[in-house]
Amino acid sequence: MNATRPDSEAARLTDWQRGLREQFPIITAHPDLVYFDSAATAQKPRSVLEAVQSYLTTSNANAGRGTYPWANRTTQLVERTRHRVKEFLGDPDPQRSTVHFTGGTTEGLRAVARDWLTSFLREGDEILVPFADHQANLDPWLEAQRLLADQGTDVRIRALPYQAVSGDYDHRELERVVGLRTRFVAATHLHHVYGGDMNVHRIRAAVGPDVPICLDAAQSVGHLPLSVAPSALDVDFVVFSGHKALALPGTGVLWARNARGPIFEPGGWQGTPNTVGIASLEAALDWLDAAGVERIARWTVALATRLTDRLRGSASYEILGCQASLAAGSGQPLQQRRHGIVSFRHRDIPSDDLGFILFSEGFMVRADNLCQAGADEKRDGSVRVSLHVYNTEDEVERLLAVLTSLD
Ligand code: PMP
């Protein structure tokens, strides 16, 4: 019995994935193309497209402004989705936390910086921010420092340290960088180039219980389970983009725990929310919960492992980020886990050329500096294959056939 179990489990997972893949019309309509750019934006399942159509044809109105049925339904949609986000994030104290809808991660991080951090920090405080994650998770903190300096308040920015090979934060070095004046940390959940889980729970351990942490979850929502229960991720802000989580572009989430420092209040007049985007987000979160994020993670980790293990065997390719600690249960708890993002370079072929070669074979990948802070397009460019639940082993094998033919 036992001997057959792994196989039947693998078969079940394959059947499950096939059923899900069929729900993505753009994927099934283009069997000759392979979409490997889900870290840039994800494709949408039919239920999300239907939710958009249904909202626009039954209830479209402004939110929080009218008293007629369409307006009431729209207001209810926005409130319901706020609660849905809290539930999706495993929020243990939804009475206290707030969900603010934004245009995306970039806007959400900027809102934390401008509307919250600038009123939280005092003269001489230090903040720790990532200088090698996405540019969107660096600029807002530099801007907050400038805004405060304009008001005569000097705060110091310190760089989160990284480990050279894995791209994980250097948690040992972090303990040295954290000081009595450390008042805030901005970090990333899943790195958009290295594909690794950045082990943010270890940042909490290093800074202690009182320092607010803002989490850029752009790459993790829908890809790996994310719980803001303090025993899981004791962070104060979670910021993400709807479009990477199967919803429409122009929709983003800023969740604030409101337990450390002032309550988050968006600054200035808040105009009409993106109600169509919010309708898509509600459907996307329902879809992800029904599919099971844990299983999505297992699927994409397996595909990324297959790709990484084979490329690692070739002298022509250099893989960025964590090299070996790929699958769950690697038995090395301090090592980093890679999820569904694999970035690499060919020894002789420039990455932008490799991107063109791959597209000529039907593979849509990203090939540039990937918006990484401080990365130069020519010097640091790479090819990024980013996976989602609609990708298959066959697609990865077809990609590997092309890549190994260039060895
Ligand atoms: N942070 C990370 C880690 C990202 O990968 C991205 C998008 N590539 C962003 C922030 C910015 O997201 P958006 O463009 O949706 O604002």
On whether the CB atoms of residues 311 and 327 are closer than 8 A, the answer is: no
Distances (CA, A) of 88 to 84, 201, 228, 287, 352: 6, 19, 10, 11, 38
Is 342 inside a domain boundary?
A: yes
Q: Given a cut of 90, is residue 127 above it in pLDDT?
A: yes
Cα 100 to middle of ligand 1, angstroms: 17
Mean pLDDT throughout 322-338?
57
Question: Do 333 and 283 fall into the same domain?
Answer: no
326 pLDDT higher than 90: no
Residues 10-60: tens digit of each pLDDT: 889 999 999 999 999 999 999 999 999 999 999 999 999 999 999 999 999
pLDDT digits (tens, 9 = 90+) for 268-287: 888 999 999 999 999 999 99
**pLDDT tens-digit readout, 199-251:** 999 999 999 999 999 999 999 999 999 999 999 999 999 999 999 999 999 99
CATH number at residue 176: 3.40.640.10
Is pLDDT at 330 greater than 80 in this prediction? no
Q: In whole angstroms, what is the distance from residue 160 CA to residue 318 CA?
A: 25
Q: Give the span between the Cα atoms of 375 and 322, in whole angstroms.
A: 18
Question: 222 is in which domain, residue-wise?
Answer: 49-291
What is the spatial distance between Cα 342 and Cα 179, in angstroms, rounded to a whole number?
A: 34
Which tens digits make up the pLDDT trace of 145-195?
Answer: 999 999 999 999 999 999 877 889 998 999 999 999 999 999 999 999 999
Instruction: Give residues (CB < 6 A) around ligand 1.
Output: 39, 104-106, 134, 136-137, 188, 192, 216, 218-219, 241, 371
Q: Are residues 377 and 232 in the same domain?
A: no
pLDDT at 4: 53
Q: Do residues 325 and 187 both lie within one domain?
A: no
**Whether the Cβ atoms of residue 24 and residue 46 lie closer than 8 Å to each other:** yes
Beta strands in 138-211 (DSSP E): 156-159, 182-188
Q: Of all protein residues, whose CA lies closest to atom 12 belonging to ligand 1? A: 105
- Residue 26: CB atoms within 10 A of its CB come to 12
348 burial via Cβ count (<10 Å: 0-12, 13-18, 19+): exposed
- For residues 86 and 141, state if they share a domain: yes
CB-CB contact of 23 with 388 (8 Å): no
pLDDT digits (tens, 9 = 90+) for 277-317: 999 999 999 999 999 999 999 999 999 999 998 998 899 99
Residue given tokens 């920015």 in the structure block = 157
Domain membership of residue 1 (yes or no) is no
By residue count, the chain amounts to 407
Q: What is the mean pLDDT of the chain?
A: 93
What single DSSP character describes residue 184? E
pLDDT tens readout for residues 346-361: 999 999 999 999 999 9
Rounded to the nearest angstrom, the distance between the alpha carbon of 401 and the centre of ligand 1 is: 30
Question: 119 in a domain, yes or no?
Answer: yes
Point out the ligand 1 atom lying closest to the alpha carbon of residue 252: 15
How many domains are there within the chain? 2
Structure-token match 């540019």, residue found: 135
Whether residues 82 and 39 fall in one domain: no
